[in-house]
Amino acid sequence: MNVMATSNEEKTPKRKRSRKSTFPTFYLSLLTILTYVPIAVVVVYSFNESKISSVWDGFSLRWYKELFQDPAMFRALFISILLGVSSCLIAAVIATLAAIGFPKAKLPGSKLIEYLSSAPIIIPEIVLGMVFLVYFSLLKLPFGMTTLIIAHTSFCIPYIYMEVKARLIGLDESYYEAARDLGASSIRAFFDITLPLIMPAVISGMFLSFAMSFDDVIISVFVTGVNTDTLPIKVYTQLKTSTTPKINALCTLMLTVTVFCYVMSYVFSRIGKRNIKTQKEREHEEAIRKA
Amino acid sequence: MTNEALKLKKKSSRKRRENKRRATSALLVLPIYLFTIAFVVGPLIYMIILSFMTRAEVWGVERIFTLDNYKNIFSEVYFGTFKQSLKLAFISTLAVIVLGYPYGYYMARTSPSWQRRLMSMQMIPFWVNSLIRLYGWIIIFRANGLLDKLLMAIGLTKEPLKLLYTYPTVVVGMVYVLLPFMIYSVYGSAEKLDWSLVEASRDLGASPVKAFITVTFPLTLPGLLTGIVLTFIPSMGLFFIADILGGNKVVLVGNLIQEQLMKVHNWPFAAALSVVLMILTSVLIYIYRRVARVEKLMGDGANENKDKDKEKEMGRGV
């Protein structure tokens, strides 16, 4: 596709091409920069000495110090991490088993269940939050960590499921069959062959869903208990009332965690895709040679 | 044993194994069956039932069938909010299309390495908590904030504009948070577009505009529609944007649901509002599926999975 596009561009006269390509470049850069402006502003002002965020009083780590001396913040951080880790671990088990099982299990309604299990990321968050709130009170579940974990697990499952499913589709069935033909039990073949091959996808999906859980406000607001405010809930309530640069410092830290998760998810999905990709590239090269 | 017999034996053992595997597979999917039925299907069914129940005098719900909750939506006060929210969703979605469509389109036309780079550059802010990004806008828009300072320094304005807590600021916040969804969707469609079709129409004498309208646009329409599905409904529910950037001036359906749940404790009404939002979502998804199916019939089935993954990858994050 792209090969074609570039070769076609080469055919057109140079003058025309340069005039044509200025606007897209300008537009892409402008919008990309604008995307980063608010984030940059938050980060820069977290190092501001002044209490008023529109006055620059020089570089300082004062707000980070204050942040680290705030036990409530640490509690919120602890809750956020505990919540993210437990829901993405539970989701990883459920989703990975399902991704392996669904293609083979010809159970009634398996297509429907597969579709419904991804509903939590299609349903508007506000509806999901509302639904969980009323449903949990119907079940008389005490609001707190349990309800938070159930709610977060529900939207972590689809992310991991999709990653693993995509990986399984690209996987060569014959490795597993070979292991079985050579006498390995199905459990052994799974742990020795299938699991190592899909592990990068599982980990990539887990980082992705951890980041989603770590960032969630809307659903958490509805299902949280008295003593289980997560970091985003803390940020939300503070933004509604008063803002000190302490929030900037908190936001900058959260941002670091998120970017880290993103990079890790990306790295692991690359590891997983590398083999498939080279195969594709080989095919592509062959096609070119034939042509 | 002859070769033939060996093959046959292998085949039958595979078949037996296949049956056994089917049984184990049933066990493997058991957790997702249980979880989905208990915590996805159950809650959704309860939401629908609840929306037909009566609110109790003091606290809670009474099991008396009523249609009042739905009638209530059309009462003057709430319908006004609904219309206002729809209008804001409409404006935001339109702005997101105008800004996001060209971005996704141009992005798909850059070289593959730049496509990857732009993708990650858009991905990172998308992953960052929307509260953090909105907070950036607060610092920029607040009275005597960065924008005011800048404009006064240039001499365009003489006094603070007091932009925070106004309608346009809420629109900016919405557009900012929802734009990535549109960009990915349009990019997803434009990236797998066969540009030789566009070239063919140009060679046959179509003007660039005509080639775009008759070839490029219809082929990227599914992406555009995905983008609309992913922006329109959420923009009615993102109550925290209206809260933080709009003060109390802008009220969305999302704010209404939150208020009914947490403050007024009229749960059946909140459930009815949610049902309406769900119906709107389903209608949009239905339209999208119809269009996507047409595209698939045109011979794009191979890309369907890829498309679905992308679509889901961006499914959330707001």
Record the pTM.
0.80
Residues B236, A124: C-beta atoms closer than 8 Å: yes
**For the domain B78-313, what is the CATH superfamily, name and number?**
MetI-like (1.10.3720.10)
User: Which is nearest to B217 in space by CA: B126, B97, B110?
Assistant: B97
The values of phi and psi at residue B73, to 5°, are: -60, -35
| Chain A residues 5-44 with CB within 8 Å of chain B | 5-6, 8, 24, 27-28, 31-32, 35-42
pLDDT at B211 over 90: no
Residues A135, B40: C-beta atoms closer than 8 Å: no
The dihedral through the CA atoms of A134, A140, A143, A144 has a sign that is: negative
Q: Which residues in chain A are closer than 8 Å to B315, comparing Cβ atoms?
A: 118, 121-122, 158
Shortest CA gap B130–chain A (Å): 8
At B49, is the pLDDT very low, low, confident or very high (cuts 50, 70, 90)? very high
How much is the average pLDDT of A181-210? Answer: 86
The answer to whether the CB of A159 falls within 8 A of the CB of A262 is no
Residues B316, A212: C-beta atoms closer than 8 Å: yes
Give the C-alpha separation, B230 to A208, whole Å.
19
The answer to whether the CB of B53 falls within 8 A of the CB of B64 is yes
Shortest CA gap A1–chain B (Å): 6
Shortest CA gap B81–chain A (Å): 16
At residue A89, the pLDDT reads 96
Residues A121, B102: C-beta atoms closer than 8 Å: no
Residue of A nearest to B231 (CA): A124
What would the pLDDT profile of B124-164 be if each residue is shown by its tens digit?
A: 877 778 888 888 888 888 877 788 888 888 877 777 777 88
Residue of A nearest to B129 (CA): A215
pLDDT over 90, % of chain A: 29
Quote ipTM for the complex.
0.80
The answer to whether the CB of B269 falls within 8 A of the CB of B82 is no
At residue B207, the pLDDT reads 86
